[in-house]
Structures are given as structure tokens and as C-alpha cells.
Amino acid sequence: MSDTTGSVYLLARGGSERDRLNAQQKTVRKCVYDDRILNDDTVLLQPGCRILDSATGSGAWLIDAAQEVPEGAELYGADISDKSFPPPNDVPSNAHFSVAPATALPHEWDGYFDVVHQRYVANALRASDWKTALSEFHRVLKPGGALQLVEIDFRYPTSVGPTMKKYEELQRSVRNSTGVPVDAASHLGAWAEEAGFVNVMAQKKYVPVSKKWGEIGQRGFDAHMGALRNLTQGYLKAGFIQSGEEYSALLDDVEKEWDEFGVRYTIWVVCARKP
């Protein structure tokens, strides 16, 4: 099975992006996970359980989870690239990292995991990639295993000012070129059912990205704006922008509108089980 996702992932890896992902975990944990590692109260982790964090990036969620799982639990982080993986000295003894895309997980993982978690990869997967990834998650879970997906709905925030409208025009051009759907997050529940999952639950959460929301809004602002700025080189290389300076100036104005309108992003949390 081959992977097709690398060509549409435009964010930088390593360096400042690793730092951003680590900081983002603190904000998302509070706003989306209610200060937990999983949202589904019916998931009761047992000693010796195995957990996969697909598209793990810097491993921020995985390392957080490693401190809270039962004795003997093993956590696996997989990503299409190892460039954002944490330094070996920062990896807990019960955590393991390997290069493997969501659309082509190792064959030896058949029926291996009790939980599969994945977050914030909607910019990297086409609709067909999502269906392949969900099939892979179903394959590597044990019967009764739990799936949790956390994704941004890029239809929101809706345009709130002239600069946001201009930025959305750029995003529309990027998505038309890459084939990444803007509304993937809202389809995850239905796609999970098509892949054979049951007990599918979808819930909306919100992450503020404006100083109007206080400290948590500032942290959300830093995480989301940091992602937009870390797209600069990817956008330049792909030809979506002609100048890094011009793109930076656009984002400066986007920042002002976010603060003016008190923007927040809509997040979908989808939980499901393998029969």
C-alpha cells in the first residue's frame, strides 16, 4: 500500500514547528479534551494497553498521555516524517516513534492497538486519503478498540473582514490545487461508519484565537497563527504565493481582524469503536 499524502502537506517540520506543536498541546488539551487525553468516558485504559498516535508530529499528545496511562501501557507515535520527533532524551520509556503515514501503517500492527488517536491532519489528506486512513485504523485496532479523531473545520471562522476574505481566497486556491476538502472534519463521523466503525459520536468544540478571550485566547492565537506563518516556505515552493514578505503582511492584517472580531475555530471530536 502506497502513501499519497506527502505532496499536499505544506507545513514546515522540525525547529519552530516542533515548538509550536508542543505549545499547542497545552491549549488544545484545555479547550478540546477538557484537560484529559481522551474525550470518550467509556474508554477504560487497562494495564498493558497499547495506544497509537497517528500523525504524531512532535509527539506532544503522546508524551502527555504517557504520563497518565496505566502501568505497562505502551504508546506508539507514527508520522510520515521524523523531522519533528522529540529528541531521544525527551521520550518516555513507554513511548516509541516510527515513520509510517496514516494511509499505510505497518502490516505487523494488525489488531495490535486498544486506542488509535489522530489530530489536526485535515490539511494533509484528500477525501480518498481519509477513507484509506480510516480503513487502516480499523485494521490495526483490536476488536472493541477505540478511535478518536480531532480536526479543525476549515469552513469556520467565516469571513469576518476584508483581510480574512482575502486570506480565504488564497486558501480556496490551495485546496483546489491539492484536492484537500475544506469540510473534511464534518464528514469524519460518516466516513468512520463507512469504514466499519460503530458507536460513532461527533462533538463540536472551540478554540479561541483572539486576545479578546484572555490568556487561553492568546495561546490559541499563537498556535494557529504560528501554523499559518510556518506555511510560508511550503506556499512559496508550491507557487501559491510570490513573496514571503507579502504573505507576512497579509497575516499581520489577519491578526488584527482576529483580535477585532474575537475569532474562534470550530473543532470536531469524533469517537468510535471497532466492533
Q: What is the pLDDT of residues 155-184, one digit of tens each?
A: 888 778 999 999 999 999 999 999 999 999
Q: Where are the alpha helices (DSSP H) in the chain?
A: 15-31, 60-66, 127-140, 162-178, 184-194, 215-229, 232-238, 244-261
> In which residue are the cell numbers 504565493 written?
241
- The pLDDT value recorded for residue 21 is 95
Asked whether the predicted pLDDT for residue 225 surpasses 50, the reply is: yes
Residues 167/254, Cβ–Cβ less than 8 Å: yes
Locate the domains of the chain by residue range: 6-273
263 Cβ neighbours under 8 A, 6+ residues apart = 157, 160, 208, 209, 210, 257
Nearest to 267 by CA among 186, 184, 206, 201: 206
Average pLDDT over residues 233-261: 95
pTM of the predicted protein model: 0.94
- The pLDDT value recorded for residue 12 is 79
DSSP state of 36: S
Q: Class assignment of domain 6-273? A: alpha beta
- The pLDDT value recorded for residue 1 is 38
Nearest to 65 by CA among 94, 101, 27: 94
Going by pLDDT thresholds of 50, 70 and 90, the confidence category of residue 120 is very high
Asked whether the predicted pLDDT for residue 123 surpasses 50, the reply is: yes
Q: What percent of the chain has pLDDT over 70?
A: 97
Q: Which comes out higher in pLDDT, residue 156 or 112?
A: 112
- The pLDDT value recorded for residue 25 is 96
Computed over every residue of the chain, the mean pLDDT equals: 93
